[in-house]
Amino acid sequence: MHKCCIQTQQATLTKSTTSIVETVYSKKKIGSICNGIGNSIMSSCHNNDGDDDHSADDAICPVVITEATRAHIRRRVRTAFDFFDQTLMLYKIVQLIFCFNGGKDCTVLLDLLMRYCQEQNIDSGQIPMLYIESDDSFEEIDDFVKHCVNRYKVKLIKYKDSLKVALTQMTQDLPLIKAVFVGSRNTDPYCGNLKAMQKTDSDWPDMMRLNPLLEWSYHDIWHYIHMYKVPYCSLYSRGYTSIGYKSNTFQNPHLLCTECAMVVDAAAAPTSDAIATPCYRPAWELVDPTTERAGRRSHK
């Protein structure tokens, strides 16, 4: 078996008794687990003084974040906070909810919203989290959602079926809710023409969609996560870049590590042990953001 694949299996066995929630600040370098593959430049980061066990002292950051990038992300944060200010001029706290699916974009939205609430002395439990359950969801996502509920002290509201069905049921159960925060970006499917505040379509429950992340890029999302040491679902450290359900999501082929890709190409037999467990670089190492959804099967 190829050495980087062996390392992958060893890492999996070693971490089998630990939480599935990762942060980018781990004593071990997350992601580029193949020797010499992945990030070639590393920088030390400050210790995380967070309140959970998913970060470590003497941490190492897997990407270099320049001062220009830091300034850019800080402007993004300020713009998001301004958006929250505008929202509270139009809606009362009891009229708001945020949609959360455990993905990277929603994770950034959640962290932004909770930081804003802290800055404004708003109880985090006043804006509930809407989560759509599914029998086809990744266990890592379900567990990460639980982690976020505990970390941010938010109220969890769960429904099954589609988002449309969930919102329909929610309007009956929680009639005060008039607007929902969504982690959509304008590069997402069908989101290119969305506005920051936009009503749902006529055949949906009457609700205002609040989209504070529309202008954020794929790499903006990961830079924010790195800068603010935000926990994220562990699937992203294993080559997933856009997470849906188990039946339509797989590791992004653009993140297959170089040595594993060479072994796959050279393998004489498809059942060879050498390609049994290929390893992938983490999501933030994706070079071309237009291939973000290369790990998702399109709807037929």
What residue spans of 98-208 are helical by DSSP H?
Answer: 104-119, 139-152, 163-173
The predicted pLDDT at position 187 comes to: 85
How many Å apart are CA 179 and CA 217, to the nearest integer? 24
pLDDT tens string 1-14:
444 544 444 443 33
Domains of the chain: 67-224 (3.40.50.620)
Average pLDDT over residues 224-250: 96
pLDDT tens string 255-277:
998 776 666 555 545 555 555 67
Task: Output the CA torsion sign for 212, 217, 218, 223.
Answer: negative
Task: Output the CA torsion sign for 188, 133, 251, 108.
Answer: positive
What is the pTM for the complete model shown? Answer: 0.79
At residue 63, does pLDDT exceed 80?
A: no
CB 258 within 8 Å of CB 37: yes
How many Å apart are CA 244 and CA 250, to the nearest integer? 9
How many Å apart are CA 259 and CA 62, to the nearest integer? 20
The predicted pLDDT at position 19 comes to: 35
CB 93 within 8 Å of CB 126: yes
pLDDT tens string 208-222:
999 999 999 999 999
Rounded to the nearest integer, the mean pLDDT of the chain is 80
pLDDT tens string 130-160:
999 999 999 999 999 999 999 999 999 999 8
Task: Output the CA torsion sign for 196, 144, 112, 39.
Answer: negative
CB 260 within 8 Å of CB 273: no
**Euclidean distance between the first and the last CA atom of the chain, given in angstroms as a whole number:** 37
The predicted pLDDT at position 56 comes to: 29
Question: Which residue spans within 95-246 are E strands per DSSP?
Answer: 96-99, 129-133, 156-160, 179-181, 197-199, 208-210, 232-233
How many Å apart are CA 230 and CA 48, to the nearest integer? 10
The predicted pLDDT at position 262 comes to: 63
21 DSSP β-pair partners: 233
The predicted pLDDT at position 21 comes to: 44
How many Å apart are CA 159 and CA 256, to the nearest integer? 35
Average pLDDT over residues 210-236: 96
The predicted pLDDT at position 62 comes to: 55
pLDDT tens string 76-105:
999 999 999 999 999 999 999 999 999 999
The predicted pLDDT at position 210 comes to: 97
**What count of other Cβ atoms lies within 10 Å of the Cβ of residue 228?**
14
The predicted pLDDT at position 185 comes to: 95
The predicted pLDDT at position 192 comes to: 77
Q: What residue has token string 């653009």?
A: 254
Question: Which residue spans within the chain are E strands per DSSP?
Answer: 21-22, 43-44, 60-61, 96-99, 129-133, 156-160, 179-181, 197-199, 208-210, 232-233
**Nearby residues of 280 by Cβ (< 8 Å), 6 or more positions away:** 238, 239, 251, 252, 255, 256, 257, 260
How many Å apart are CA 76 and CA 215, to the nearest integer? 9
pLDDT tens string 38-47:
332 222 233 3
